Amino acid sequence: MFDRRFKSLVILVFLVLMVPVLGHSATLSEIETEFMCDCGCGDMLVNCTCERSDEMRGLISQMNNQGQSKTQIVANFVSQFGEVILSSPPRKGFNLVAYGVPMTGFFFGAIVAVTLARRWRFSRRDEEDEESESGDDLSEEMEERIREELENLED
Amino acid sequence: MVELGNLSQYAALGFALGAIILLVGGIIRNDFRYIMGGRRALAFTPLFTTMAALSLTYLFATDAFQVEYVMSYSDRALPFFYKLTAFWAGQDGSLLFWVWTLSLFAAVVAFNTRNELEQRPTPYIYLVMAGCMVFFLFLLTRVTNPFELLPFTSRDGRGLNPMLQNPGMIFHPPTLFLGYVGFTVPFAYALGAMMGGNPDESWLKKIRVWSVLSWVFLTIGIILGGQWAYVELGWGGYWAWDPVENASFIPWLVATAFIHTSIIQERRNIMRVWNMVLIVLTFVLCLFGTYLVRSGILQSVHDFGATGLGGYFLVFMAGAALLGFGLIVFSYQRLRSEHSIESYLSRESTFLFNNVILLALAFATLFGTMFPLLSEAVTGNKVTVSQPFFNRVNTPLFLLLLLITGLCPLIGWRKASASNLRKNFLLPAAVTTAGGLGLFIAGIREVYPFLAVSLSIFIASTIFQEFWTGTRARVRLTGEGALIAFPKLVWKMRSRYGGFVAHLGVVLMVIGITGSYAYKQENQATLKQGQTIAVGDYTLRYDRAGTYSDRNREVQAAEFSIFRDGQYLDKMRTERRFYTNAEQPTTEVSLRSTLLEDLYVTMPAVGENQEVTLKVAVNPLVIWVWIGGFVMVFGGIMSIIPRFTRREIIPHV
């Protein structure tokens, strides 16, 4: 019972948080962030101040006034200028590598770090076992005191 | 002066090569005299590089347009101060600046190690420094010489790129270079330690100041670059994930990871291999950044690419990577730590995970930057990877990094007990919950901004808790009042609290970045005299326009009255400048900055009948990006201020 209520509450909170995001319609400058300026400056359209960027903005504005959605405008631009006009690669085909590899790298790094930490931790336990066999054991209380003192030491 | 400059460069090259020969001889023959000679040769190089640098400065100051480099980056109309800073406007001067600072750093290293000549790593450290210097001096003398003469004397120069005629650009390149060059020293010490067969913790202690200072310079360089983009480029932002921006950010991320884990190695003698990998990687990435900029392999908003130096940098970078990583493999047994992480619930493990995230960010940025090349090579299709991609991929990682940054001070070294963690966690968690609720009520409900600001509150509260706990302990121990105990505590433990101050800077920056990106408002319109444009609470009325001539430019200027909620506030003025040496006009940003928001106005066009096109934006909290950057730099500097007095013995009361 509690579990179901809790889940409902979490979903409700999430939906409330997402309301502004879900109900959002694209503004002109949000559409502009989808494109690069094709004057060769290497700037995004939304950032560029050259004359060519004004022409491109005019084109977007015209399409928007005709009632085209963001997706339609993007498709129109791609058919006109090619995929290179997009400020980020579309999520399909080989481009998926661009999105997938960094995250895979992060998860791989995290797994390596956890594995390392586990190995270090266990080898430390083995050392501790050996130490306790040799009679160098410290009481937990003493260890805690030393730890606190170490933390309070000046660097 | 041209001859003096040329001769000085060759003399510096000769001395650096001499140093290498003597040092190698000394190492092979195990002869102390050779090593002394090599050290002296190394210490003399700044004399010649300084002469070369002064010669070039003189040539700029005196409009020596028979020199190709001076002619390319200066003209008679250029203000004197910019003539001096045109030194590093192009590749040749930048490399001379690089080698000049490198030689100075090498001399400081030679001085610092004057009593360590008998130690095995020392000659190897000199050798690496001299090797790097030879590479740059070779480029200067044989490939890209700033003293190259034209076959004729030009009457005037081409002038400095108008966009570089900005105070931010005076300091941005040299600070970045100082950061890049500075990491040569930790790299040299790391290699020296491995080659000398002594890769313990001693090298790390010696390079702490160098690594933090280089990181500080890199940070200043990056922030100044952002500030320059904000006030000069006119698009209203400060970071566009451009390849050249990324080129400086990637080594910064890895260097930040190194600075964190080097603290662990110093305290606990662990992560030796990891730290070696990080410092080699940092140095190689500094070179990679330069390669990216100089090779022109990627399209960038920076217009100084494709200079033919890429190949040389690629070879040098590959050599440095092979040597560094090869030595790590070779020294692996000696590098293995005697100690280890004891618990997942320890500060060491949070540092390790912070490293994983920082490296993942560096990797994601590097991969995204290089992806257009990869895509073209594999599919033949050209794609562009710009701001939206990096924001999408990196933002979750940044948020995770913020979470770890907040958790870190709550967890003790070695092994934290669950009860201690609960006790430490209580107050920051309560403050964060209250803060989050406040944000929600205030209408900040978009996922990323909400999380970013909430996590910033979490970090800030953990840091203030740290300050509070420390101050309370000092008050208890010494009987001092809290107002006296607090600054004394911070000053006496500045290496520890400097780090926290730097983290506070990060918090301020995150708040500034979140505010300015998520809640920016903008509007654009073409106005006739007397007409208005509104954005947010502001209304701008176009009052008048005019044209005038300045030294090296024609200027179109327009003046506006600003109103907020109907109340008159101020006048603003924006310009379009037509520099004599530029084909395209530049837009001069008009900025009204407060602690809460910036009113940002540019004028992309002026019509025939004096009608003006205005782009107006309200950028909330931008100033906190710069303040946060300053606090971060201050924290970094604070953490490396040396101790001047003996350690104080606190009397018990």
Query: Which of B94, B126, B157 is the C-terminal boundary of a domain?
Result: B157
Structure tokens at B136: 């740059």
The alpha carbon of residue B100 and the mean position of all alpha carbons in its chain are separated, in whole angstroms, by 19
Q: Could you tell me if B512 and B583 lie in one domain?
A: no
Question: Chain A within 8 Å of B389 (Cβ-Cβ)?
Answer: yes
Domains of chain A, by residue range, sit at 97-152
> Which position has the higher pLDDT, A15 or B471?
B471
Taking CB atoms and an 8 Å cutoff, what residues of chain B touch A150? 413-414
State whether B583 and B494 are in the same domain. Answer: no
Average pLDDT, chain B: 87
Spell out which residues of chain A touch residue B360, defining contact as CB-CB under 8 Å: 102, 105-106, 109
User: Residue B498's pLDDT band (boundaries 50, 70, 90)?
Assistant: very high
A positions 72-131 inside 8 Å of B (CB): 82-89, 93-95, 97-99, 101-103, 105-106, 109-110, 112-113, 116-117, 119-121, 123-124
Kindly state the average pLDDT of the residues B348-356.
86
Determine whether the interchain pair A49/B379 forms a contact, defined as Cβ–Cβ distance below 8 Å: no
Set of chain B residues whose Cβ sits within 8 Å of the Cβ of A74: none
pLDDT single digits (tens) A77-126: 888 888 888 888 888 888 888 888 888 888 888 888 888 777 766 555 55
Number of domains in chain B: 3
Contact A93 B270 (CB under 8 A): no
> Which of B52-56, B528-532, B552-556 has the highest mean predicted lDDT (pLDDT)?
B52-56
pLDDT score of A139: 45
B560 with B539, same domain? yes
Residue B163 falls inside a structural domain: no
Residue B92 within a domain = yes
What is the spatial distance between Cα B370 and Cα B374, in angstroms, rounded to a whole number? Answer: 7
The reply to whether B10 and B79 lie within a common domain is yes
Count the Cβ atoms, other than its own, within 10 Å of residue B440.
15
Residue of chain B with shortest Cα separation from A86: B384
Tell me, yes or no, whether B558 and B503 share the same domain. no
Q: Which candidate in B161, B264, B389, B524 is best for mutational testing of the A interface (most A CBs within 10 A)?
A: B389
Interface with chain A: mutation pick from B163, B339, B356, highest number of A CBs within 10 Å: B356
Residues of A in contact with B381 (CB under 8 A): 83, 94
CATH of the domain at B21: 1.20.120
* Neighbouring residues of B357: CB distance < 8 A, sequence distance ≥ 6: A106, B397, B400, B401, B404
Out of A47-56, B177-186, B232-241, the most confident range is B177-186
**Mean pLDDT calculated for residue range B298-302:** 58
For residue B613, the surrounding DSSP H or E stretch is: strand B612-620
Is B344 domain-assigned? no
User: Per-residue confidence at B220, pLDDT binned at 50, 70, 90?
Assistant: very high
Q: For the segment B583-604, what is each residue's pLDDT rounded down to a tens digit?
A: 777 788 899 999 999 999 988 8
B500 contacts B510 by C-beta, under 8 angstroms: no
Give the distance from residue A120's alpha carbon to the nearest chain B alpha carbon, in angstroms: 5
- Per-window interface: A 11-40 vs B, CB < 8 A: 16-21, 29, 33-34, 36, 40
pLDDT for B103 = 95
Domain that holds residue B605: 523-623
Evaluate whether residue B189 is within a structural domain. no
DSSP character string of B307-338: -S-HHHHHHHHHHHHHHHHHHHHHTHHHHS-S
Check pLDDT > 70 for residue B302: no
Residue B535 inside a domain? The answer is yes
* Stretch 46-75 of chain A: residues touching chain B, C-beta under 8 Å: 46-50, 54
Looking at the partner chain, which of A102, A119, A144 has a beta carbon nearest the beta carbon of B393?
A102
Smallest CA–CA distance, residue A127 to chain B, in Å, is 9
B169 pLDDT higher than 70: yes
Round to whole Å and give the CA distance between A46 and B515. 18
Do B243 and B273 meet the contact criterion of CB atoms below 8 Å apart?
Answer: no
Q: Which residues contact residue B626 at a Cβ distance below 8 angstroms, ignoring those fewer than 6 apart?
A: B223, B227, B512
User: C-alpha distances in angstroms, B314 versus A151, B290, B297, B317, B320?
Assistant: 45, 10, 12, 5, 10
Residue B257 domain-assigned (yes or no):
no
Structure tokens at B529: 């005299």
pLDDT confidence of residue B206: 87
Residue B512 shares a structural domain with residue B541: no
Residues B460 and B570 both lie in one domain: no
Local confidence band at B607 (pLDDT 50, 70, 90 cut-offs) = confident
Query: CA-CA distance, B379 to B157, in Å (whole number)?
Result: 45
Sort out which chain A residues have CB atoms less than 8 A from B356's CB and list them. Answer: 106, 109-110, 112-113
pLDDT band at A17 (very low <50, low <70, confident <90, very high): very low
- The whole-number pLDDT of residue B524 equals 83
Query: Looking at residue A2, what is its pLDDT?
Result: 46
Asked if residue B591 and residue B481 are part of one domain, the reply reads no
What is the reported pLDDT for B357? 93
- Percent pLDDT > 70 in chain B is 93
A147/B237 Cβ within 8 A: no
* Residue after which a domain boundary falls, among B157, B178, B193: B157
Q: Which of A88-97, B159-168, B291-300 ranks highest by mean pLDDT?
A: A88-97
Facing residue for A94 by CB, picked from B299, B375, B492: B375
B432 and B552, same domain (yes or no): no
Q: Are B629 and B638 in contact (CB under 8 A)?
A: no
Are B29 and B62 part of one and the same domain? yes
Indicate whether B134 and B7 sit together in one domain. Answer: yes
Non-local (6+) Cβ contacts of B40 within 8 A are none
Q: Count Cβ atoms below 10 Å from residue B495 Cβ, excluding itself.
A: 18
Q: Are residues B139 and B128 in the same domain?
A: yes
pLDDT > 90? residue B539: yes
